[in-house]
Structure 1
Amino acid sequence: MRVAVVPRTPLLLPAFDPRALPELEPVRGAAREAALSLVRPGVETVTVVTASADAAATDESAGGTLGSYGHDVHAGGADPVLSRDQTVGAWLLDDAGWTGRRRYVAADDEVAVAEADAVLALVDGTTCRTDRAPRPFDERGEPFDELVADALAAADLTVLAALDEELADELGAGGVTTLGVLARAATTLPRTAERRADLLHHSAPFGVGYWVAAWDLG
C-alpha cells in the first residue's frame, strides 16, 4: 500500500494567489510531491479518503468545483458531486497526471481503506496554534501536532491508531479520524523490510497545523 497524507485546504491550489500566501508554498510543493508518489507502476486505483461529513462515495466519473470559494476550478470527472475536501484530492491527482481508476470514500469506510492499494488521505492538524488561528490559542495544539508528525515520520501505526479523537476535535483537528482508520487498515498488511516513511513537511501557517507524508508499506 502506498499512502500520501496531505492537508485538505483548498489553499493548496494555485488558483489561490501564491504571492499573497507565501507561507503556503512549502506546503503546496510537498503535497504535490506526495500525490506524485502514488503514481507508480502497480497502482491500479487511488482511494481518496476524508472525514468530511459531506464526502461522496463514488469513482473516477465524479468531479468537483471550488466555485463557492470564488474560483472557477474544476477537478476530476464530469459529475460534480465531490465535497470540497474530495475536490482538493481530485485536483492533486489531476496535477500528478493520474489517469487510472479512482475511488472516493468517507473515512468511516474502513473496509474500502483496508482494500486500497494506494490512499490519498486528506487531513488537517489543529487549528489553535497561534493567535492568528481560526480557534482561540490552545497550548495543547503544538504537542498534539508534533506527536502526529513524529508518528507519520516513522509510520508508527500504534500511535496513529490510538490518537485521542475527542482531544483532536477540541483542538479543531477533526480530520484526524482518517489517520486512525488508515493506521488500523495498515496493521493488517504483511510487514516487509521495504517499508518507507517520509515526513515531507510539517508547519503551522496561520496557526493551522499541516502535515505532508508519503509512505510505501510494501
Structure 2
Amino acid sequence: MITRAAVVPHPPLLVPELVAGATAETEPVRAATLAAAGKLPGPWVAVAVDPAGPATFVPPLSGTFLGYGVDVPASLGGDLPPDAHVPLPVLVTAWLRERCAVEVSRVELVPPDLPTSDCVSLGRRLAAEDCGLLVLGDGSTRHGPRSPGSDDERSGPFDTAVHELLAAADTDGLLGLDTGLARELGAQGRAAWQVLAGVPGPWRCSSADFFAPFGVGYHVAVWERP
C-alpha cells in the first residue's frame, strides 16, 4: 500500500548548474522539492506528465541535462552511458533519486490530455504497490509578464485553488479540476495530480507550498495516511 506521496514540479531550474545566474531566486523551489522528496520511502514509483506519454522508464537508465544547457548527468540506477533523449520528468526523478539516496522502480509518463477517468484508473492500479509515490507536474505557465506564455489573469485563481486542494488533501476537488482550463493555462500537472487523487484514501497533507518564479506555478506537497 502507498502510505506517502510527494507532489513536486519538474522544471530544469531545480538543477543549480542550469541556473547559475538565478540560483538564489530558484532556491526556495529547490529546497522545498528536495525536502518533500526526501520524506518518501523507497522504492519510488514516479508518475509524471509529458507529451512522450504514455511510456514507462525503468532502471538501469541514465540521462543528461545537456539539452537544457549543461551536461549534468542523472541516473535512475545502473551504470549505462547517458541517453540524450530521456524526457525531462525522468531526468528530474533521477536527479532527485540521487540526492535522496533511494531506489526507483519505474517512472510512468502520462500525456497532458489524459482524461480524468483514466487518471483515476491509474491511481487505483498503483494503490496496492508498496512504494513511495512521486507525483511530478507543473502549474500554469501564464503567471504575469515573465511567464513563458502570455499573461492570463485566470492563472492566479487556478493555482491558488490547486494549492488549497493539495493542502486539504481534497481528492474530490482535484478530480473536479477543469481539464479545459488547465490546458489553456498550460498546467500540465493536472493529469498527475488527478492520478494521485485516484489513489484511495484517506489522506492528510502534512505540508504544501506554492511558488511562481519566472511566471510558472510550482506546487510542492506531501500526503500521508492519517
- Structure 2: distance between partners of 1:17 and 1:58: 27
For 1:141, the equivalent position in structure 2 comes to 155
- Structure 2: distance between partners of 1:198 and 1:150: 13
TM-score, normalising length from structure 2? 0.83
Is 1:9 the counterpart of 2:11? The answer is: yes
**Where do 1:1-218 residues align within 5 Å?**
1=2, 2-17=4-19, 19-38=21-40, 40=41, 43=42, 45-55=43-53, 56-76=55-75, 77=77, 78=80, 80=83, 82-98=86-102, 100-107=103-110, 110=122, 113-116=126-129, 117-184=131-198, 186=199, 188-189=200-201, 191=202, 195-217=203-225
The secondary structure found in structure 1 opposite 2:143 is: coil
Judge conservation of contact 1:105–1:112 (CA < 8 Å) in 2: no
Given the superposition, is the C-alpha separation of residues 160 and 174 from structure 1 closer, same or farther in structure 2, using an over 3 Å criterion? same
Given the superposition, is the C-alpha separation of residues 166 and 95 from structure 1 closer, same or farther in structure 2, using an over 3 Å criterion? same
Judge conservation of contact 1:30–1:200 (CA < 8 Å) in 2: no
State the Cα distance separating 1:101 from its structure 2 match.
4.1
State the Cα distance separating 1:19 from its structure 2 match.
4.8
- Structure 2: distance between partners of 1:141 and 1:124: 12
- Structure 2: distance between partners of 1:112 and 1:67: 35
State the Cα distance separating 1:200 from its structure 2 match.
3.8
Judge conservation of contact 1:10–1:85 (CA < 8 Å) in 2: no
Q: Deviations over 1:51-97 (max 9, x none)?
A: 10225412221222111112111112326363111101110111111
- Structure 2: distance between partners of 1:9 and 1:53: 15
Q: Deviations over 1:133-176 (max 9, x none)?
A: 11111111000000000011111111111111110010011221
Judge conservation of contact 2:57–2:90 (CA < 8 Å) in 1: no
Given the superposition, is the C-alpha separation of residues 6 and 29 from structure 1 closer, same or farther in structure 2, using an over 3 Å criterion? same
The secondary structure found in structure 2 opposite 1:3 is: strand
- Structure 2: distance between partners of 1:129 and 1:205: 9
- Structure 1: distance between partners of 2:109 and 2:74: 18
- Structure 1: distance between partners of 2:104 and 2:46: 11
Structure 1 stretches lacking a partner, 5+ long: none
The secondary structure found in structure 1 opposite 2:210 is: strand
- Which stretch of the first structure deviates more once superposed, 169-178 or 78-87? 78-87
Judge conservation of contact 2:166–2:208 (CA < 8 Å) in 1: no
TM-score, normalising length from structure 1? 0.86
Structure 2 stretches lacking a partner, 5+ long: none
State the Cα distance separating 1:114 from its structure 2 match.
3.3
Cα RMSD for the two superposed structures = 2.0
% identical aligned pairs: 38
